[in-house]
Amino acid sequence: MKFSGLELRRVAMPLVAPFRTSMGTEHERDVLLVRAVGDEAEGWGECVAMSEPGYSAEYVAGAADVIRRFLSPALAALSTVDAHLAESAFAKVKGHPMAKAAVQTAVLDAQLRAAGMSFGAYLGAVKPAVPAGVSVGIMDTVAQLLDAVDGYLDQGYLRIKLKIEPGWDVEPVRAVRERFGDILLQVDANCAYTLQDARQLARLDAFDLLLIEQPLPEDDIRGHAELARRMRTPMCLDESITSARAAADAIALHAAAIVNIKPGRVGGYLEARRVHDVCAASGVPVWAGGMLETGLGRAANVALAALPNFTLPGDTSASDRYYRTDITAPFRLEDGHVRVPTGPGLGVGPDPDALAAATTGTEWLAW
């Protein structure tokens, strides 16, 4: 398709409750949206970079800058653009997977809308709805945590993920396990530990967790392999899995028994599908991570989560877990599941009024 350019749009999305992790506390999501304007259709991509480089090196203003200076010009130089052509045009730019993913997704959405095909159909979805888990932040007290978990279980969430950090691990996990019994439970440390903490982390083995997610730094593959030998809880990687090759390496080195897939972290949905395929070929289950997306990013994640090797519930929660007013029609929890959109492209679009109300700035990048 021929495109006339990209619109960058910054959107401020207050969270329904602060989300605290070992990386800091999020009160409001500062979202960068990309709108690709083609002659047959237009499409949307959501950049999952956070305002600060706490999860990975990327941050919202940096992602906007990379798109403006390098990614948009790389596509403007092509005579025709689709998601695969965009991916190869971006290969000469090192890093910045979240910026690349946002643009590639906007192009793919336009391409699929023009073709009348949904993200789910394109990626290979095999189910109409996906099981939903919820990621629960660090709280001031265990009592507050138990209240929050109780509320989510009441709503029907099928799996609870607790954020942990040194000083907030065994005690909250024990309390949740004792209070709620045999629920699906897992933890996420966002790189907050070192191998020195192996003995403390092994105490989590007593609670039959589905997995422990990314306890050690992103580049510490050998450390995760060593830690996996020192505890029984299955090792899952998030931050470390930056590509399908990284997934293959982590699996070969026994650093990951389970993989969290986030398209933004690996440069887009094309690479995310390759991560899925590499893991499937190795018998390693995957699940869909989240980055507190709006309905636009959520739509694509839910479609991806319907692929066959996504055998664990994802962080694909309903819209109201994050936002009072989303910029799309809200994703709702139905019997613990979120429905995969079936319309062309993402299958959802921004509500013009909600989008306008949340927008803090726009910029047109003409090709």
The token pair that represents 75 in the structure block? 């596509």
Q: Check binding of 135 to ligand OSB (CB under 6 A).
A: yes
Residue 297 contact partner, candidates Mg ion, ligand OSB, none, CB within 5 to 8 A by sort of partner: none
User: Which spans in 116-267 are helix H?
Assistant: 119-123, 142-155, 170-180, 198-202, 221-230, 244-252, 263-266
161 in active site: no
In the chain, count H helices and then E strands.
14, 13
The answer to whether 316 touches 340, Cβ cutoff 8 Å, is no
- How big is the site for ligand OSB, counted in residues (CB under 6 A)? 11
Provide CB contacts within 8 A for 35, sequence distance 6+.
Answer: 6, 7, 9, 42, 43, 44, 106
Q: Check binding of 289 to ligand OSB (CB under 6 A).
A: yes
Q: Check binding of 238 to Mg ion (CB under 5 A).
A: yes
User: At residue 218, what is the residue type?
Assistant: E
Q: Which residue has the tokens 């599908």?
A: 273
**Residue 277 CB burial class (10 angstroms; 0-12, 13-18, ≥19):** middle
Single out the segment in contact with ligand OSB by CB under 6 A; choices: 36-44, 148-156, 290-298, 351-359: 290-298
Minimum CB distance to Mg ion smaller for 220 or for 238: 238
Q: At 157, is the secondary structure helix, strand, or coil?
A: coil
The answer to whether 68 touches 133, Cβ cutoff 8 Å, is no
Q: Check binding of 188 to ligand OSB (CB under 6 A).
A: yes
Single out the segment in contact with ligand OSB by CB under 6 A; choices: 27-35, 266-274, 286-294, 353-361: 286-294
Residue 4 CB, nearest distance to Mg ion (Å)? 37
State the DSSP code for 70.
I
Interacting residue with Mg ion among 26, 42, 188, 218 (CB under 5 A):
188
Q: Check binding of 242 to ligand OSB (CB under 6 A).
A: no
Q: What residues between 66 and 105 interact with ligand OSB by CB under 6 A?
A: none
The answer to whether 344 touches 313, Cβ cutoff 8 Å, is no
Residue 105 contact partner, candidates ligand OSB, Mg ion, none, CB within 5 to 8 A by sort of partner: none
Minimum CB distance to ligand OSB smaller for 55 or for 168: 55
163 in active site: yes
Binding marks (x or -) toward ligand OSB, 299..318, rule CB under 6 A? ----------------x-x-
Residue nearest to ligand OSB (CB): 290
Binding residues for ligand OSB (CB under 6 A): 55, 135, 188, 190, 238, 289-292, 315, 317
Residues carrying an active site annotation:
163, 262
